């Protein structure tokens, strides 16, 4: 009774006061109720093979009919309706989950209004999921149409159509754009956004002096043509791709020595402004484009193969010991699907691996349709391990040389083993000498015998004198120097021989065997041990033309599945691909996507702030022939992009998150850009592009540094980071070892690699500050910076203050800054002088006090907000 | 009868909801809120990387230990000469061993039994028997559990150290300290949560793998307090910048950042970064303070052996460990030098010397923690990755070879019994035979003491959930606990 009264009261309260469904708005099953059931209930009541309690919630008529416990609901009578009683009491969903008040209110209201549907329900539901009209009409699944340009009041503020979309919205809110940023700010902003590097003082001077009206557009073109552009935007692309130079998955995290070729392919492609359509097709199906042509034949052919490295980026534990191989193989497929879907579709397809997607119209069958596209190349039943997938670029001559070399090596090894055996025999004879004379023969006879073939007497003999057990493996314990010398000589000899071998030259790529078309099964609950029906390859079925992928295309030697899907994705009609791509580009220019969740355009993602602008950008990308540079030129020459970032109180009050873009956002540099900026500012930047990455290693406390860390026998560091030029390569050329993130950049929110990074955070935390204050690599940059400044400015402290400031920020310091800097230089210099004069002769610092002081100032500049942020 | 709940005081969150959320009338609202912790909100798939932190987190079960100090005796102290007297060995001294021996180094091995020359005596109210090489430990036996049946069963240093640190014989996995700080965070946000104190003579044999976060976020890697300046890399300034230069640097930085902020009023992130530098400076001060042993009384310093050459180094580190735990650090790991206990030869002189360095400080740590009321909540572990064989290695310069099949370790505090001996080895001390404590049993036990359930203690990674026990069936050693689980 009590419960009944509480229930009634609860409903009275909910219905009376929850303003979530406006009173006059009709509540309909398809649009309001079904999403609640889909999220919380369908899993047991409709989707699975076994329907719990025989209650199917997917159709209103089956809901009314109810299940084992009786009728599910009585239209118009919420209190009498069983499912509502169960829901309000918290009995359903089970296991202590509970619907929110808002959801309960919606259900109640719906029943009260008579449990109405938007249209007559279908006669029968097909196996699996039926999408409603509402789901099919979701904005992201609609074709991209070029929107008409909205009218704006302040036409003078419109530099290109982008501005119209933004300004129109601002104007309806009674707002407008902020004024243009000053020239120095613009140059610095542009330089970081397009190149990921700070502008040089020379460029700053040149730009400030340029009086031509189109100085800005000229600068944009110049930067788009700079090779550093491909490095910057390549790194952006590598985030969702999950680029790494190691396999991950298992503890020892094996290195992927050939991954760099894919990274280089990305950089080259972006620099060449390769149409993104082609870029996508090559990455998904470059091998099928080649269609059997040799990768050696041309650079273009090699590139097509290298491009498929995209599909080899997932963490990979196949072939590793102690790993269940079937699990590892299926994990590679699942992670590859996640990488592909978050990069190109912006949908969380992976959520449908085990059951129907809880929020979006992606059926479990859809997941396996996508999987079927990759199954011929990543067939878990006929797995090819990583090495078997490498393709060599060796020529016939290379192979011949290598053959000869192998023979030479085998001979050297044979000779070594004979020498070693000679020592073993000598030691054995010596040990036998310790045995009583009458038993020596017995000991010799036992030597070649396996333990279980020896007589009890022999066994006892070996047990009493364990040192008789000498063999190749243990002989070093008896004859340490001789064996060590022999080993050393042998190693040197073999290394010399190996040095004559042609260097390995592989491509790590995805290919598929010819005419190999394994079936793809839907796995019940995602478990590969519970295969169900065979699923054909295809795109998500809620999208237009989902069935464009053939089972086996006769025109290519392989199945042609990836090629067909890639062409479909890049065909210009796909509703998601272009939107997802332009959204990412926008995000990197403004700090936030038009859809703020770049990897999730579904119901749980953020809705677009400017849907029409998103459409326009997508359509512009496609109609420009998929030119990324064209798109970016439009973006960075818009008035919106050129605004000042200064906060205006009335704008901030209206739009604290700056979604309307009534000003530019102040953004912190990404981890790599911070280090790269230090490289440039300190004059350290190595210009070397491409090639194998600079290796990383743990230093003596476990912090990951660049370079080989050489330790003595006690583990203490002998030579840490040496001064080889690898130290000063851009951050995207530093090895990305999943288990060993580079210590100097890691605290600044590097890209996740398990498996990929849809969105980077931008955190502010004390460890970042400590790093700037004390990290050895940062201090080394400060010292190099000081040396560079001293070389220009001599020992005039005002001049030093100015030169360093100019280098770090691209502008001249104001008077107060110079005064502050001079004071810092003077006090620290006095301190260092005092320390130096007090120190005994052999401990005098090698750097003069003035330069030590200058390094402190330089370090402060590198640590400052002005350095770390772009405004 | 329904209205009484109108007057039920609401906690602040519920009150806030009542004010801001749904505006529901009292009765029904209060009833519904009884369930609000279990509300089935839509669970968003992770869009941004998950954020990890070191904020203190409550143990799922009531914990007995809140902090742990592990004194790792790398190299393998000879249990036969310190903790585990074997009369049978005395009888067969210099005679051939009557059973099977698992040798590690056959070249120098012999089959002769060896009984060390050291005297044994019972100590404390419990009558625990120790050799004369550990006179200070003898004073605290009533506070420790001595386990004579430790076992890892992999006969070399590396694998055995890995087993005890991370549960398996290979590297790349998270170690105990990483797991504890991942699960429980730290009570002190200004000091590292997991501190490693290394020996001035060098790193442990496995180097930085001993404090690896493995596949846990790198936040949970151990932070090394080095024996020389800068004591904590990235936290302490290098010597030449300590003091005035860094102070001036921070002042200048603050001023220039303030001017920059004035040009960008309202940018919260810029202001937050100014504060982050201040927090960083506080962390430095706190760390410096924690490592400053001059604040200790002369009596305490002497108890830890800071005035004697042999014990100064290890004593300082034991004292630092206590100061860290006192300040809320969750896990402190101390290492001895690489070869301190690996007595393949010269055991007659080297073992007493090793004991002299370690015994006084480690016993002092137990009494000091107890005296300050910290022992009940601090689990102390003392032990190596192995013991030694009952037979001679190297007859010309007597030593003992490795033995991971049976060895001794001791524990104190944090819910562990005092004056108790657990388990035993066979009559020669080669194999643990009764109440065996494998490395995974040790891990299950220490997790239990921290209120963690071994099977729930996991981290999601590719290929499934990773855990410290990694599927091995660790048994909680209930006999050594003050209040065993019910």
Contacts 24+ apart (CB under 8 A), A650-654: A650/A175, A651/A175, A651/A178, A652/B266, A654/A173, A654/A175
Q: Return the pLDDT at A30.
A: 84
Residue A871 is nearest to which of B259, B264, B283, comparing CB atoms?
B264
Q: CB–CB of A715 and B207 under 8 A? A: yes
3-state secondary structure at position B151: strand
In which domain, by residue range, is B225 found?
A: 67-236+309-480
Return d(Cα A152, Cα A147) in angstroms, integer.
Answer: 15
CATH code for position B462: 3.40.720.10
- Could you give the angle at the alpha carbon of B215 between the alpha carbons of B214 and B216, nearest 5°? 95
Q: Return the pLDDT at A129.
A: 53
Residue to test with chain B: of A41, A667, A774, A777, most B Cβ within 10 A: A774
B462, closest residue in chain A (CA to CA): A249
Q: Return the pLDDT at A15.
A: 46
Contacts of B463 in chain A (CB under 8 A): 249, 317, 323-324, 327-328, 331
Q: CB–CB of A348 and B42 under 8 A? A: no
Q: Return the pLDDT at A193.
A: 98
Residue to test with chain B: of A334, A700, A715, most B Cβ within 10 A: A715
Query: Tens of pLDDT along A120-156?
Result: 887 776 654 578 888 999 999 999 999 999 999 999 9
Query: Tens of pLDDT along B311-328?
Result: 999 999 999 999 999 999
What is the C-alpha radius of gyration for chain A, rounded to an integer number of angstroms? Answer: 34
Any domain includes B86: yes
Q: Where are the alpha helices (DSSP H) in A341-363?
A: none
Residue to test with chain B: of A43, A352, A860, A867, most B Cβ within 10 A: A860
Tokens linked to A849: 């006090």
B109 touches B431 (CB < 8 A): no
Any domain includes B345: yes
Of B349, B381, B345, which Cα lies nearest the Cα of B362? B381
How, if at all, do strands B437-438 and B144-151 pair? parallel
Query: Would you give the DSSP letter of residue A44?
Result: I
Return d(Cα A871, Cα B23) in angstroms, integer.
Answer: 42
CA distance A626 to chain B (A): 27
Non-local CB neighbours of A522 within 8 Å, separated by 6+ positions: A364, A365, A368, A531, A532, A533, A535
DSSP letters spanning A195-207: HSSPPPHHHHHHH
Return d(Cα A760, Cα A670) in angstroms, integer.
Answer: 8
Q: What Cα–Cα distance (Å) separates residue B343 from each residue in B53, B77, B339, B340, B348?
A: 42, 8, 8, 8, 9
Residue A856 is nearest to which of B248, B283, B463, comparing CB atoms?
B248
Residue B208 is nearest to which of A323, A701, A779, comparing CB atoms?
A701
Q: Which residues are B223's β-sheet partners?
A: B195
Residue to test with chain A: of B2, B17, B27, B45, most A Cβ within 10 A: B45
Q: What Cα–Cα distance (Å) separates residue A463 from each residue in A459, B391, B397?
A: 6, 12, 21
Return d(Cα B404, Cα B384) in angstroms, integer.
Answer: 10
How, if at all, do strands B420-422 and B144-151 pair? parallel
Of B456, B457, B455, B368, which Cα lies nearest the Cα of B412? B368
3-state secondary structure at position B214: coil
Of B137, B211, B126, which Cα lies nearest the Cα of B382? B137
Q: Is A246 exposed, middle or buried (0-12, 13-18, 19+ CB in 10 A)?
A: buried
Tokens linked to A63: 């809901």
Neighbours of A136 (CB within 10 A): 13
Given a cut of 50, the residues of chain B with pLDDT beneath it are 1-49
Q: CB–CB of A647 and B24 under 8 A? A: no
DSSP letters spanning B263-313: HSTT-HHHHHHHHHHHHHHHHHHHHHHHH-GGGS-HHHHHHTTTTSHHHHH
Which run of H or of E encompasses B320?
helix B309-326
Neighbours of A415 (CB within 10 A): 12
Return d(Cα A390, Cα A781) in angstroms, integer.
Answer: 39
Given a cut of 70, the residues of chain A with pLDDT beneath it are 1-24, 125-129, 709, 711-723
How, if at all, do strands A667-668 and A696-698 pair? unpaired
Tokens linked to A55: 């209650």
Neighbours of B275 (CB within 10 A): 12
Q: Return the pLDDT at A355.
A: 87
Within its chain, how far is the Cα of A723 from the centroid?
30
Return d(Cα A64, Cα A478) in angstroms, integer.
Answer: 87
Q: CB–CB of A773 and B25 under 8 A? A: no
Q: CB–CB of B202 and A715 under 8 A? A: yes
Q: Return the pLDDT at B462.
A: 64
3-state secondary structure at position A534: strand
Q: What Cα–Cα distance (Å) separates residue B55 from each residue in A123, B62, B184, B219?
A: 56, 18, 8, 12
A322 touches A224 (CB < 8 A): no
Cis peptide upstream of residue A755 (ω within 30 degrees of 0): yes
- Could you give the angle at the alpha carbon of A826 between the alpha carbons of A823 and A832, nearest 5°? 135
Q: Return the pLDDT at A720.
A: 55
pTM comes to 0.81
Contacts of A852 in chain B (CB under 8 A): 240, 245
Q: Which residues are A391's β-sheet partners?
A: A507
Any domain includes B448: yes
B214 touches A251 (CB < 8 A): yes
Q: Is A816 exposed, middle or buried (0-12, 13-18, 19+ CB in 10 A)?
A: exposed
Residue A768 is nearest to which of B25, B221, B276, comparing CB atoms?
B276
Q: What is the dihedral of CA A493, A496, A501, A502, to 10 degrees?
A: 160
Q: Return the pLDDT at A176.
A: 97
Question: Any idea which residue has 């020389």 for tokens?
Answer: B228
A205 touches A803 (CB < 8 A): no
Please tell me the total count of domains within chain B: 1
Q: CB–CB of B252 and A824 under 8 A? A: yes
Q: What Cα–Cα distance (Å) separates residue B183 from each residue in A774, B177, B214, B477?
A: 29, 10, 15, 21
Q: How many CB pairs under 8 A join A and B?
A: 291
Residue extents of the structural domains in chain A:
2-122, 183-230+575-665, 275-392+512-569, 397-503, 668-763, 776-870
Return d(Cα A60, Cα A121) in angstroms, integer.
Answer: 8
């Amino acid at each position: 009774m009590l419960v009944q009264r509480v229930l009634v009261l609860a409903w009275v309260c909910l219905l009376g006061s929850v303003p979530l469904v406006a009173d006059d708005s009709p509540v309909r099953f398809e649009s309001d109720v079904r999403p609640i059931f889909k999220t919380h209930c369908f899993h047991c009541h409709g989707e699975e093979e076994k329907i719990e309690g025989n209650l199917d919630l997917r159709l209103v008529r089956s809901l009314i009919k109810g299940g084992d416990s009786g009728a599910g609901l009585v239209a118009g009578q919420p209190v009498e309706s069983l499912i509502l009683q169960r829901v309000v009491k918290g009995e359903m969903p089970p296991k202590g989950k509970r619907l929110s008040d808002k959801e309960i209110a919606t259900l109640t209201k719906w029943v009260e209004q008579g449990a109405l549907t938007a249209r007559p329900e279908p006669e029968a539901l097909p196996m699996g999921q039926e999408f409603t009209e509402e789901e099919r009409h979701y904005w992201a699944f609609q074709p991209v149409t070029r929107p008409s340009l909205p009218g704006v009041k302040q036409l003078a503020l419109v530099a290109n159509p982008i501005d119209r979309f933004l300004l129109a919205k601002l104007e309806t809110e009674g707002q407008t754009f902020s004024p243009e940023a000053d020239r120095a700010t613009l140059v610095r902003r542009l330089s970081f956004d397009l190149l990921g590097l700070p502008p040089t003082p020379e460029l700053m001077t040149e730009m400030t002096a340029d009086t031509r009206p189109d100085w800005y557009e000229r600068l944009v073109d110049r930067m788009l043509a700079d090779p550093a552009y491909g490095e910057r935007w390549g790194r952006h692309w590598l985030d969702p791709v999950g680029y790494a130079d190691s396999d991950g998955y298992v503890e020892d995290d094996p290195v992927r020595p050939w991954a760099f070729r894919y990274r280089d392919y990305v950089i080259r492609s972006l620099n060449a402004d390769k149409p993104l359509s082609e870029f996508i097709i090559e990455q998904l199906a470059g091998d099928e484009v080649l269609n059997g042509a040799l990768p050696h034949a041309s650079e273009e052919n090699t590139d097509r193969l290298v491009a498929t490295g995209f599909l080899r980026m997932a963490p990979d534990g196949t072939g590793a010991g102690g790993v269940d191989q079937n699990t590892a193989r299926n994990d590679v497929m699942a992670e590859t699907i996640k990488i592909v879907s978050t990069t190109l579709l912006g949908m969380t397809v992976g959520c449908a691996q085990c059951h129907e997607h809880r929020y979006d119209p992606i059926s479990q069958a859809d997941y396996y349709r996508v999987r079927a596209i990759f199954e011929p190349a990543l067939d878990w039943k006929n797995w090819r391990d990583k090495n078997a997938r490498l393709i060599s670029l060796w020529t016939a001559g290379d192979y011949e040389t290598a053959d000869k070399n192998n023979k030479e090596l085998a001979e050297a090894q044979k000779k070594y083993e004979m020498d070693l055996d000679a020592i073993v025999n000598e030691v054995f004879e010596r040990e036998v000498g310790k045995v009583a004379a009458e038993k020596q023969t017995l000991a010799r006879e036992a030597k070649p015998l396996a333990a279980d073939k020896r007589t009890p007497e022999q066994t006892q003999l070996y047990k009493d004198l364990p040192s008789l057990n000498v063999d190749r493996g243990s002989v070093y314990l008896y004859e340490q120097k001789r064996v060590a010398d022999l080993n050393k000589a042998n190693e040197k000899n073999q290394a010399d021989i190996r040095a004559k071998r042609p260097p390995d030259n592989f491509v790590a790529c995805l290919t598929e065997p010819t005419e190999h078309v394994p079936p793809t099964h839907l796995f019940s609950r995602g478990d590969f041990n519970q295969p169900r029906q065979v699923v054909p390859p295809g795109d998500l079925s809620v999208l237009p033309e989902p069935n464009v992928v053939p089972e086996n295309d006769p025109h290519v030697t392989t199945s042609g599945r990836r090629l067909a899907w890639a062409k479909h994705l890049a065909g210009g009609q796909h509703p998601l691909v272009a939107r997802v791509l332009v959204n990412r580009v926008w995000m990197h220019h403004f700090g936030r996507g038009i859809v703020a969740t770049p990897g999730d355009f579904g119901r749980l993602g953020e809705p677009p702030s400017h849907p029409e602008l998103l459409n326009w950008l997508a359509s512009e990308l496609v109609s420009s022939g998929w030119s990324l540079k064209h798109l970016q030129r439009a973006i960075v020459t818009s008035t919106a992009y050129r605004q000042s970032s200064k906060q205006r109180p009335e704008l901030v009050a209206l739009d604290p998150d700056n979604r309307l873009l009534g000003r530019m956002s102040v953004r912190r540099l990404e981890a790599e850009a911070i280090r790269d900026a230090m490289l440039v500012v300190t004059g350290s930047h190595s210009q070397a592009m491409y090639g194998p990455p600079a290796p990383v290693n743990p230093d003596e406390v476990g912090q990951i540094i660049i370079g080989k860390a050489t330790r003595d026998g006690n583990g203490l560091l002998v030579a840490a980071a040496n001064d080889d030029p690898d130290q000063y390569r851009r951050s995207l050329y530093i090895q990305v070892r999943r288990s060993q993130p580079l210590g100097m950049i890691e605290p600044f929110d590097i890209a996740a690699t398990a498996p990929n990074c849809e969105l980077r955070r931008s955190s502010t935390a004390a460890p970042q500050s400590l790093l700037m204050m004390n990290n050895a690599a940062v201090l080394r940059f400060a010292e190099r910076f000081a040396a560079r400044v001293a070389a220009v400015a001599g020992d005039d402290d005002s001049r030093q203050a100015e030169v360093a400031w100019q280098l770090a920020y691209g502008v001249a310091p104001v008077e107060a800054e110079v005064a502050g800097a001079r004071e810092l230089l003077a006090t620290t210099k006095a301190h260092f002088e005092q320390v130096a004069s007090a120190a005994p002769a052999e401990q005098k610092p090698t750097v003069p006090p003035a330069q030590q002081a200058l390094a402190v100032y330089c370090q402060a500049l590198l640590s400052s907000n002005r350095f770390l942020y772009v405004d | 009868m329904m209205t009484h709940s109108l007057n039920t005081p609401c906690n602040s969150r519920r009150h806030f909801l009542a004010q801001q959320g749904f505006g529901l009338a009292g009765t029904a609202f209060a009833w519904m809120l009884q369930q609000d912790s279990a509300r089935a909100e839509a669970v968003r798939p992770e869009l941004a990387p998950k954020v990890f932190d070191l904020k203190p987190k409550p143990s799922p079960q009531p914990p007995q230990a809140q902090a742990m100090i592990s004194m790792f005796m790398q190299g393998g102290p000879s249990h036969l000469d310190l903790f585990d007297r074997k009369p049978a060995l005395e009888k067969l001294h210099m005679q051939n061993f009557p059973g099977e021996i698992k040798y590690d180094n056959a070249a120098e091995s012999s089959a002769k039994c060896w009984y060390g020359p050291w005297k044994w005596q019972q100590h404390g109210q419990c009558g625990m028997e120790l050799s004369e090489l550990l006179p200070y430990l003898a004073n605290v036996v009533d506070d420790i559990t001595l386990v004579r049946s430790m076992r890892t069963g992999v006969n070399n240093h590396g694998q055995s150290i890995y087993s005890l640190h991370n549960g398996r014989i290979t590297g790349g996995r998270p170690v105990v300290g990483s797991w504890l700080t991942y699960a429980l965070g730290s009570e002190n946000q200004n000091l590292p949560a997991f501190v490693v104190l290394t020996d001035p003579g060098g790193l442990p044999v496995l180097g930085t793998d001993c404090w690896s976060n493995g596949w846990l976020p790198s936040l949970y890697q151990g932070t090394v307090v080095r024996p020389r300046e800068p004591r904590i890399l990235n936290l302490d300034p290098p010597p030449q910048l300590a003091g005035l230069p860094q102070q001036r640097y921070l002042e200048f930085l603050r001023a220039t950042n303030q001017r920059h902020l004035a040009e960008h009023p309202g940018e919260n992130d810029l202001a937050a970064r100014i504060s982050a530098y201040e927090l960083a400076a506080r962390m430095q001060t706190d760390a410096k303070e924690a490592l400053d042993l001059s604040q200790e009384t002369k009596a305490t310093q002497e108890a830890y052996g800071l005035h004697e050459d042999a014990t100064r180094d290890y004593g300082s580190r034991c004292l630092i460990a206590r100061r860290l735990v006192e300040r809320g650090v969750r896990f402190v790991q101390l290492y001895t030098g690489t070869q301190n206990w690996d007595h393949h030869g010269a055991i007659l002189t080297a073992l007493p010397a090793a004991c002299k360095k370690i015994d006084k400080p480690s016993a002092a740590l137990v009494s000091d923690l107890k005296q300050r009321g910290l022992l009940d909540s601090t689990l102390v572990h003392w032990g190596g990755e192995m013991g030694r064989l009952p037979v001679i290695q190297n007859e010309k310069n007597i030593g003992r070879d490795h033995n991971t099949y049976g060895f001794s370790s001791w524990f104190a505090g944090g819910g562990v019994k005092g004056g108790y001996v657990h388990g035993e080895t066979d009559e020669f001390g080669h194999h643990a035979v009764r109440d065996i404590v494998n490395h995974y049993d040790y891990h299950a036990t220490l997790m239990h003491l921290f209120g963690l359930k071994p099977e729930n203690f996991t981290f999601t990674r590719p290929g499934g959930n990773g855990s410290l026990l990694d599927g091995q069936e660790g048994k909680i050693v209930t006999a050594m606990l003050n209040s065993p689980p019910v």
